Every structure is written in structure tokens, then in C-alpha cells.
Amino acid sequence: MRLYRTEMVEDVRYVWIRGPAYGGNSGRRFLNMVSFAMLALVVQARFQRPSAVIGWTVHPLAAAAAYLMARLRGARFFFEVRDLWPQTLIDMGALREGSAQARALRWIEAFLVTRGDGVITLLPGVESYLQERGLRPMSLLYLPNGVDLAPPPRIVAGVRDRVASAPRDVARWQPPGPVSTSAPMAVLTALRPSSRRRRSSSGSRTPARREPPAVAAPDPVAGSPD
């Protein structure tokens, strides 16, 4: 039985990692989280070293694995907050404040926020949330899903400069999302702009013969490979 397989889709290399199937918030879901984190650390060693690693929630163990990957490979680590663990679960009544699970999740969250090279978030209130908890990241970047289609020229120029100076090799780790909660496979993706097609918004060139780095993205389909 193969632990992973790779697939190239329009210059993007997907690395599919095998994991146990689950349904709902059962014990098998936690097993899937642990399995993804452990196998991702094993599989990523077979690919070229990235310049930066982005680990995000959901779920915390995937972000923790991304942190370990960055430290093992000598890369920078950025923590992307897409959901608040455990605060969202507590607010929804799915987890009790002060429980062992809540304390463990808060510890992981605090560790990733304070030990990384920066925090990226899609949520507008994260800065206040972190301040209330006494957590001070090295830097915090708010990147909302919605954007102004006609921003001032100076803002466009500033963003263009920042993108141009960003690392070319960026690893991103994420477990399967809600679309594929029954899928027994998690996935890592690899992104690198092609020098022939110039897909990068920064216009940077990368030699076509070089291998792309390891990255992660949601599993788009259910089912296991042949």
C-alpha cells in the first residue's frame, strides 16, 4: 500500500497522502488529523527544501507539522489563521472552556503564534483576539477574501514590490476540508512559477528544469487512488 502519490496539474505538483477515512466528529477524525501530521513530516523530506512554509488551521496539528517541517528544513514559518481553535468550538458549545482539550489547543495556538516568523489571517478580529490573550506575533498580515477592485495606485505598487521580494519556494500545509471529510487521502501541493509560462504575479522567472517545493492544499475529491 502506497503512503502517497504525486500528480502534476498545470505546473502544480499535488502530493496525495493516504489517511484513514472518517465521518462526522468521531474518534476517527482525530486519528485522521494525527495521521496527516505524522505522514506529512515523513513525505515532505522527499522533496526539495522550501524557502518558507505556511501552516494553517483547520486543523492545528497540520499547522504544527508545518512548523516542524520549517525548522527541520531551515525555512521560515508563517502561521495562517483561518479558524480559531479552540475558541470557535467553545463559542459553539462543542468544547468546554478549561477542559484538557481546550487547554491543549490553546497551547498549540500560542506556540505557533509566538514562535513563527509572522501570522497571516483572513479574519478581521484576529489582532484584537491575540492581544486579549497576550499573544504578540512577530508580524501580522490581514488578507481578507474580498478585495477592492480599484485600489489607489500607491497601494498597488506597494503590493507589487512585496510580492516581487517574496520567497519563490513556499510550502503550504492543509488537511482535507469539508468537501472531502470521507476521503482517505490528504494532499500536499507544490507551487513554483514556470519560467516559460510566467504564471507568477511578480513576474519572477524560475528555471524550468528545477523541481517544485512541497506545499499543501485541500483534498478536492473523495476516494483512494488505484
The answer as to whether 54 is a domain residue is: yes
On the question of pLDDT at 190 being above 90, the answer is no
Q: Which of 57, 64, 63, 111 is nearest to 85 (CA)?
A: 57
Q: What is the CATH number of the domain that holds 47?
A: 3.40.50
The answer as to whether 170 is a domain residue is: yes
**Which residues form the domain of 129?**
4-216
- The H-assigned helical ranges of 10-152 are 27-44, 60-73, 87-91, 100-115, 126-132
Percent share of the chain, pLDDT over 70: 66
> How far is 214 from 192, CA to CA, in rounded Å?
10
Q: What is the pTM of this model?
A: 0.64
Count of structural domains, the chain: 1
The answer as to whether 48 is a domain residue is: yes
pLDDT of residue 109: 93
Strand partners, 8: 13
The answer as to whether 226 is a domain residue is: no
Beta strands in the chain (DSSP E): 4-9, 12-18, 52-57, 76-81, 119-121, 140-142, 170-173, 185-191, 215-216
Strand, helix or coil at 54? strand
The answer as to whether 137 is a domain residue is: yes
The pLDDT-based confidence of 214 (bands split at 50, 70, 90) is very low
